[in-house]
Amino acid sequence: MDKLWGSRFEKDITAAVLDYTQTTDIDERLILSDIWGSIAHVVMLGRQEILIPAEGRALLKCLLGLYEEAGNGTLELNRELEDVHLNLEQQVIARLGLQVGGKIHTARSRNDQVVTDTRLYLREKILHLQAELVHFIEILIHRSGANMGKVMVGYTHGQPAQPVSVAFWLTSYASMLIRDFDRLTHAFTGTNKNPLGSCALAGTSFPIDRPLTARLLGFDGLLLHALDATSSRDFILETVSALSILMSNISRMAEEIVLFSSYEYNLVEVDDAYSTGSSIMPQKKNPVVVELARARCGRVFGSLIHVLTMVKGVPMGYNVDLQEDKPPLWRALDDTLSTVSIMREQMSRLTFNYQRALDLCRANFTTATELANHLVKEKGFSFRQAYQVTGTVVKELIKANKTLADLSAVGSELRKLQVEMDIEQLKDVIEPFQVMDQQVSQGGTSRKSVKEILEVLQGELEKRGDELKQRRQSLEQALTNTLQAARQFCDPESAG
């Protein structure tokens, strides 16, 4: 029996047990992280003189070779070996023999190894997703610039409410997505801590240096408590929660585009490249990308429930239940990344039907609130009095099959209620564009307010973009430092 843990057993596991328990194919994506973690671990063992220099050199040379093979895709994993960690150790032993190769697992357990790998991998993915989000928000901001003076219907309760600008609508999502970015930063902070050196659950009697591996691996400090570090998966829950909230926000955007691109709304048009046809109805153009984005958030929510349920009954100390964290995490990451990136592309090509928006605003009394405001400002009414007068005007216009765009009808309805307004004055408080542009309060929809919103968003985005760049650079630097430390250990004469 050549299993690394085989000596205690009389029998090998059955093929069905292997199928049921192995994770090699799932954690294949951890291979580079596993080797990076192993290199850092061996550098540390060498510096602490837990290994003699010759052993450290042999192990590091071997690991550097394996890192290269894994990087260029020539390192084959064997599913019979159960998981990525045992694959790697087996490779080292096959190349160096049991006497030296067998030392790599000194002062380490798969229990701290697997969370180290997962954290290394996950933090990269979080940063990648954040970069995609920055790009998405940039597109929303960019498209807003050209659309500050274009009217869109603003809805509440699914009913036309007040005229807003297209830029205002677009920036509402930019504003929302910045918070998603921040939730991911929080998830990154929770993820980027070093569990390595916790060993199986209780720490170790070897004189290890945990801050050293933390530095080499680019972690922001230690996950100090060994039992907590090996048992906890809340960093995954935080990440998948952040992904779920992000997906729910994107799903709302997708839902709006499905609705707004229908004949009935006809406010936007989805680019042909982001739509497909019907196999039977030749006239159909279906907005399938946004429909699928709306649906796909279900899979991400599923991952959150999956991990929450998996973890809730697991006692402290590693239990193999915890290895079920990866498939839902991978799925949530993959689905969110692909959704953010394709939604960004399709939003950059979405076109707006400006005339239709004006027509809907006019036909649906969306400027009535501003008429009431005008009566307050100019005619000495309390807001509730003005509201009642305007409501009565609207009721009478509806009866007469007219709208607020029929200025003379509006004038005569007002006159019946003892309010004198000339038609020229009325234009300004009844035309959607003018009304949109009068909402000048901070955060409102006027061009002036949206200009300020855009400046704020731009500033927030730049700040986050810079932080992101720094985080990515410091992780790259950590990897470079680890590889260099390993080479230097192998060949102290060489500077790097």
- Which positions touch ligand ARG (CB under 6 A)? 23, 27, 83, 85, 110-111, 114, 318, 320, 322-323
Q: Of residues 157, 205, 279, 494, which has the active-site annotation?
A: 157
Query: In the block, which residue shows the tokens 């200025």?
Result: 407
Of all residues in the shown chain, the one whose CB is closest to ligand ARG is: 323
Report how far residue 202's alpha carbon sits from residue 452's, in angstroms, rounded to the nearest whole number.
55
Minimum distance, C-beta of residue 181 to ligand ARG, in the bound complex (Å): 29
Give the containing element (helix H, strand E) for 153. Answer: strand 151-156
Closest approach of ligand ARG to the CB of residue 25, in Å: 12
Residues 6+ apart with CB under 8 A from 309: none
Q: Are 206 and 107 in contact (CB under 8 A)?
A: yes
- Name the amino acid, one letter, at 262: S
In this structure, what token pair is assigned to residue 429? Answer: 């408080």
* Catalytic (active site) residue 157: yes
In the complex, the smallest distance separating the C-beta of residue 324 from ligand ARG, rounded to whole angstroms, is 8
Q: Is 338 a catalytic residue?
A: no
Rounded least distance, CB 109 to ligand ARG, Å: 7
Measured from the CB atom, is 230 or 336 closer to ligand ARG? 230
Structure tokens that stand for 286 in this block = 């279906």
- Which one of 248, 262, 278, 474 is the catalytic residue? 278
Minimal distance, residue 238 CB to ligand ARG, in Å: 18
**Closer residue to ligand ARG (CB): 15 or 320:** 320
The smaller minimum CB distance to ligand ARG, of residues 114 and 450, is found at: 114
Taking a C-beta distance cutoff of 8 angstroms, is the pair 209, 44 a contact? yes
CB of 199 to ligand ARG, least distance (A): 11
DSSP letter at 257?
Answer: H
| 86 close to 2: Cβ distance less than 8 angstroms | no
Residues 6+ apart with CB under 8 A from 2: none
Instruction: Report the relative pairing of strands 159-165 and 151-156 from DSSP bridges.
Output: antiparallel
Alpha-carbon gap, residue 268 to 208, rounded angstroms = 61
The helix/strand/coil state of 158 is coil
- Structure tokens given for 240: 């998948």
For the chain, the maximum distance between any two Cα atoms, rounded to a whole number of angstroms, is 102
The residues carrying an active-site annotation are 157, 278
